[in-house]
Chains A and B, each alone.
Chain A
Amino acid sequence: MDRRKSIQTMILGAGAIGLTGIQGCTTEEDAALLDQEIAVAEKYFGRTPEELERIDELNAEQLFNAHELETIGVLSTVILPPKEPFGGPIEAGVPDFIEFIGKDLPKLQNTLLGGLMWLDHQSNSTFGTDFKSTPLEQQKQLLDPIAYHDVEIPIKKQTLEIQFFALMRNLTLTGYYTSEIGIKDLGYKGNQPNVWDGVPQNVLDQHGVAYDPEWIAKCIDQSTRGDIATWDKDGNLLT
């Protein structure tokens, strides 16, 4: 289903920014002028038919077996324990993401599959049980030697288990922070209609920088952004 996404929310955005002390456009007239709408399709994410076909093909394949997927879930949760109110890797869909990306980027497969085997082998040899069934403290004993790599040596020249852990940590973090809850946790405020009117004063102060008034004088006065631009013959903006 298509829905209409109103860019009128940009006016709300401006109002909200106004509250934090930045000048924004808040008058009714401006709101009317800038009422823009975009049709947004919820079931599409902009794929071409060929791209969708490939996604379907990948989804029809299975890279990890049930045990491996569970192990990925357990390991990713040790890497990034859940936090209220956001959740953790499981809530962020990290195992499904790793399953997909492993098929999408086949060069990752050996490291992931081999690393999971290594992890269980190491766990069985040391504690007599597979990784996911081992208590957290023992899991940490297995991970500590591979979790801190020597930054002087390129990761590709390090042992499989170190590469595996670094890859799992990367995929866990990327999977989490690209999820809805991860983005909330991070606090990213973008990807929505907005009126950019500069860095808030408290942020400028925190980082010890300031706007040059001469520079700012040349920038867009957001209360005029709905006015149609006209210039004199020398290129001076009149509106």
Chain B
Amino acid sequence: MQIKESPEVYDVIIVGSGAGGGMATKQLADAGFNVAVVEAGPFFDPADPKTMTQLKWPYESPRRGAGTDRAFGEWDMAYGGWQIEGEPYTHEEGTKFNWFRSHMLGGRTNHWGRISLRFGPKDFKGKTRDGHGEDWPIGYDDVKPYYDKVDKLIGVFGTNEGLPNDPDGFFLPPPKPRLHELFYINGAKKSGVPVIPGRLSMLTKRINNERGVCFYCGQCARACAVYADFSSGSCLIFPAQKSGGKIRIYVNSVVREVTTDQEGKATGVSYISKDDRKEYKLKGRIVILAASACSSARILLNSKSKQHPSGLGNSSNVIGKYLHDSTGASRAGFIPGLMNRKTSYNEDGVGGMHVYSPWWGDNSKLDFPRGYHIEIWGGMGMPNYGFGFNHNEFNKFFGLKVGGYGASLREEVRKYYGSVVGFGGRGEGIARKDNYCEIDPTTVDQFGVPVLKFNYNWSDLEIKQAKHMQDTFEEILHNMGGEPLGDKPGKNRDYGLETPGNIIHEVGTTRMGNDPKTSVTNKWNQLHDVDNVFIVDAGPFVSQADKNCTWTILALSWRASDYIIDQLKKQNI
């Protein structure tokens, strides 16, 4: 079968349409370049009534919202999941890593939590700070102008608190706390844990006339039909198209490799169309990978040639290494003070926390480096599959019988509705060379492309951090007058530390640096080995910080795009 080659030569080919790919698309198309976006999944627009799940009721589905076909429940807007049929991944024996992929225009930005945190000055200089990991080749001052621009372009609510490592920004005003969040504020204060308004990319206020304003349905995970939250399609790609950008989107197109010429320079990509299972080639002057940290690493490792025998850009043999996800642990509790709630009002709020706790600890007094922030959930949410399970379990705290049947069930359901809160700790794990993904030559996906094999182990440092989370959660729950639920995970369960990958903040597989021997890209997200290939997902992250990675992906993608524009104008690439 012959590979079909398109005669058109694009200025830029962008692989992937999530946060990094979307931002590069917008910047480069706005600058007048001819852009091809290659996306493995289908077209998706949050405003399309056919695919929309926002404002659906559980009874509109026969399974009432159960998560059988979508990992985070039936209404979640991610096509994909932890496992995708025909697209496996494997593990080194005895290690674990869970990989969440979403194949659709906009990628995982359609369902993510929109928690939008800047890295702080310390976060770029980990090694200087405590000897662990490596410093970034750039610092906060290099990225700050881009964080500022991202805030204004996309919109994020929050407050300027003047904190040293949780920088101020250009925020929209936050929503007022919900009832359970007031309980949390009081409980956390008793333990000296600071609480500030959440920082999430949802529009509590208009930022332009194209996007809507939040109407507080609490369903950002379903993607917003009025574009009041950030998704890459609705906020970056569609606006770039509307303002006349030359953008061709190839959907259902799985990139196999970056193609190169005799000199080893990239000439484009080859991809397999899911629609006809045929292979195609696209030509471009520049290739930008934004397929997600692990997928971009996989494409590069699979792009072998005479000039690049160990994979494109892999002369350092660092691609795939230093893979790291956020640490995560959680605990829920029953709060008697939140019983017998009035249901007279709608407290959906935004699709996430109105308050949170940034890291507060002093590591010189702790047995682990770095830190974590605390995310809070609770409230009178919409019933979905699972609502009412073990409806009177909390009777045990009052010495009452658990179980039963009859008219009393209604009273019990109402009595306990909205009385549970939960905390999630999201922290920084140390990037290590021996945590990695690599090509598994024994296994291919349904398109014949070799898959990734993961090798990842947490160290004692992350486990100790999880212990600190559990102790903190329990203390705050008690301060709230609450009863922690379930057994406290102990040493034998690594204190509830989540399996690597579970927090879906995987970064670091193509880390940036000044030394081509120990890093994959330079400080402009450009491959050391090949000057016309860039990576704008979270692969170039040197370290993760205890911040969610999206805002930094967006800032660095914009920064790299500006560099590309400059270099193209100077005819350097």
Binding site for B on A (CB under 8 A): 2, 5, 7, 10, 13, 17, 20, 33-34, 36, 38-41, 44-46, 48, 51, 54-55, 58-59, 78-81, 83, 93, 96-97, 100-101, 104-105, 143, 147-149, 151, 165-166, 169-170, 173-180, 182-183, 185-200, 202-204, 206-212, 215-216, 218-221, 224-229, 231, 235-237, 239
Residues A46 and B51 in contact, CB atoms below 8 Å apart: yes
Cα–Cα distance between A190 and B493 once the two chains are bound (Å)? 38
Chain B residues with CB under 8 A of A81: 406-407
Q: Is B315 an interface residue (CB 8 A)?
A: no
Q: Any chain A CB within 8 A of the CB of B121?
A: no
**Is the Cβ of B79 less than 8 Å from the Cβ of A48?**
yes
Cα-based distance from A191 to B414 in the complex (angstroms): 18
User: How long is the Cα–Cα vector from A185 to B387 in the complex, in angstroms?
Assistant: 14
CB distance from B195 to the nearest CB of A (A): 9
Q: Mark B211-228, 1 if CB is under 8 A from A, else 0.
A: 011111111001001100
A-facing mask of B120-140, CB < 8 A → 1, else 0?
000000000000000000000
A-B pairs, top 6 by smallest CB distance, nearest first, are: A173-B388, A187-B343, A41-B49, A46-B53, A178-B58, A198-B176
- How long is the Cα–Cα vector from A221 to B175 in the complex, in angstroms? 9
Q: How far is the CA of A173 from the CA of B62 in the complex (A)?
A: 15
Cβ contact within 8 Å between A192 and B217: yes
Q: Can you list 9 A-B contacts (CB < 8 A)?
A: A78-B405, A101-B66, A174-B64, A186-B414, A186-B417, A190-B382, A202-B342, A203-B341, A211-B177
Closest to B178 in A: A199
Q: Does A148 contact B402, Cβ atoms closer than 8 Å?
A: yes
A193 to B177, CA, bound (A): 18
Interface: B516 (CB within 8 A): no
* Contact yes or no, B206 A39, CB < 8 A: no
**In the assembled complex, B56 has its CB within 8 A of some CB on chain A:** yes
A58: B residues at CB distance < 8 A = 62
B66 touching A193 by the CB < 8 A rule?
no
Separation of A170 and B343 alpha carbons in the complex (Å): 22
Q: How far in angstroms is the closest Cβ of chain B from A145?
A: 11
Q: Specify which chain B residues have a CB less than 8 angstroms from the CB of A189 in the assembled complex.
A: 343-347
Flag B52-70 by CB within 8 Å of A: 1 or 0 each: 1111111111111110110
Q: A178-B387, A219-B176 are in contact. Are A105 and B61 (CB under 8 A)?
A: no
One digit per residue, 1 when the CB lies within 8 angstroms of any chain A CB and 0 when it does not, for chain B 144-188 equals: 000010001001010110000000111111111111001101100
The residue from B148, B176, B349, B383 contacting A177, defined by CB atoms under 8 A apart: B383
Residues on B with beta carbons closer than 8 Å to the beta carbon of A45: 53, 56, 60-61
Give, as a whole number of angstroms, the nearest-CB distance from A13 to chain B: 8
State in angstroms the CA–CA spacing of A100 and B168 once bound together: 50
Q: Which one of B242-250, B321-329, B389-397 contacts A?
A: B389-397
| B9 on interface, CB distance cutoff 8 Å | no
Asked if B270 lies at the interface with its beta carbon under 8 angstroms from chain A, I say no
Indicate if B504 sits at the interface (CB-CB under 8 A).
Answer: no
A190 to B177, CA, bound (A): 16
A161 to B538, alpha carbons, bound, how many Å?
A: 51
Are A177 and B388 within 8 A (Cβ)?
yes
CB distance from B172 to the nearest CB of A (A): 6
In the bound complex, CA of A166 to CA of B390 (Å): 8
**Which of A17, A38, A101 is the one whose CB lies under 8 Å from B47?**
A38
Whether, in the assembled complex, B380 has its beta carbon less than 8 Å from a beta carbon of chain A, the answer is yes
The listed residue with most A CB atoms (<10 A of its CB), out of B58, B338, B348, B405, is B405
Task: List the B residue with the shortest CB-CB distance to A146.
Answer: B403
Determine if A207 and B179 form an interchain contact, defined as CB atoms under 8 angstroms apart: yes
Contacts of B213 in A (CB 8 A): 34, 36, 225-226
Shortest CB–CB separation between residue B209 and chain A, in angstroms? 7
- Within 8 Å by CB of A80, from B51, B182, B217, B405, lies B405
When C-beta atoms are compared, the residue in chain A nearest to B160 turns out to be A235
A175 B64 Cβ-Cβ under 8 A: yes
Inter-chain contacts of B409 with A (CB < 8 A): 79-80, 169, 173
**Closest CB in chain B relative to A187 CB, distance in Å:** 3
Q: A97: which B residues are within 8 A, CB to CB?
A: 62, 64
Nearest CB in chain B: distance from A202 CB, A: 7
Structural contact, B346 and A192, CB atoms closer than 8 A: yes
A17 CA to B344 CA in the complex, in Å? Answer: 10
Once bound together, how far apart are the Cα atoms of A175 and B62, in whole Å? Answer: 10
Q: Quick check: is B401 within 8 A (CB to CB) of the other chain? A: yes
A4, closest chain B residue (CB): B49
Which A residue sits closest to B46, measured CB to CB?
A: A38
Q: Flag whether B442 is at the interface (Cβ < 8 A).
A: no
Give bound CA distance, A108 to B410, whole Å. 25
Q: With a CB–CB cut-off of 8 A, which chain A residues contact B179? A: 199, 203-204, 207, 209
The answer for the CA separation of A197 and B178 in the assembled complex, in Å, is 9
Q: How far is the CA of A91 from the CA of B56 in the complex (A)?
A: 20
CB distance A191 to B177 under 8 Å? no
B75 sits at the interface (CB 8 A): yes
Q: How far is the CA of A237 from the CA of B338 in the complex (A)?
A: 35
Q: By the criterion CB–CB under 8 Å, are B207 and A209 in contact?
A: no
CA distance A172 to B209 in the complex (A): 46
Our pick among A105, A186, A235 for the contact of B383 (Cβ within 8 Å) is A186
Contact of A219 among B155, B175, B386 (CB under 8 A): B175
B197 interface hit (Cβ, 8 Å): yes
- Please judge, given known A-B contacts A36-B213, A38-B225, A189-B345, whether A183 and B383 are in contact too, CB under 8 Å: yes
Given A81-B407, A105-B68, A174-B64, also A199-B182 (CB < 8 A)? yes
Chain A residue numbers with a CB within 8 Å of B174 are 218-220
Which residues of chain B have C-beta atoms less than 8 A from A231's C-beta? 152, 170
Assuming A78-B406, A105-B66, A237-B173, what are 10 further A-B pairs, CB within 8 angstroms? A17-B345, A40-B49, A40-B52, A41-B52, A101-B66, A177-B388, A186-B343, A190-B380, A215-B177, A220-B174
Bound-complex Cα distance A133 to B182 (A): 52
Question: How distant is the Cα of A39 from the Cα of B50 in the complex, in angstroms?
Answer: 9
Q: How far apart are the CA atoms of A83 and B414 in the complex, in Å?
A: 14
CB distance from B520 to the nearest CB of A (A): 34
Q: Are A220 and B157 in contact, CB atoms less than 8 angstroms apart?
A: yes
| Closest chain B residue, CB of each to CB of A179 | B59
Once the chains bind, are A104 and B52 in contact (CB under 8 Å)? Answer: no
The residue of chain B having its C-beta at the shortest distance from the C-beta of A5 within the complex is B55
Query: What residues of chain A lie closer than 8 Å to B393, measured between beta carbons?
Result: 151
Q: Please determine whether B172 and A229 come into contact, CB atoms closer than 8 angstroms.
A: yes
Interface membership of B361, Cβ < 8 A: no
Bound-state CA distance A226–B341 (Å) is 32
Question: Which residue on A lies nearest to B418, using beta carbons?
Answer: A188
| Inter-chain contact A149/B403, CB cutoff 8 Å | yes
Q: Do B173 and A180 touch (CB < 8 A)?
A: no
Most chain A CB within a 10 A radius of its CB, from B49, B216, B417: B49
- Chain B residue contacts of A174, Cβ below 8 A: 64, 383, 385-389
Residues of B within 8 A of A149 (CB): 402-403
Which residues of A sit under 8 angstroms from B383, Cβ to Cβ?
Answer: 174, 177-178, 182-183, 186, 188
Known: A147-B404, A185-B410, A203-B341. A209 touches B186 (CB 8 A): yes
Asked whether, in the complex, the Cβ of A186 is within 8 Å of the Cβ of B413, the reply is: yes
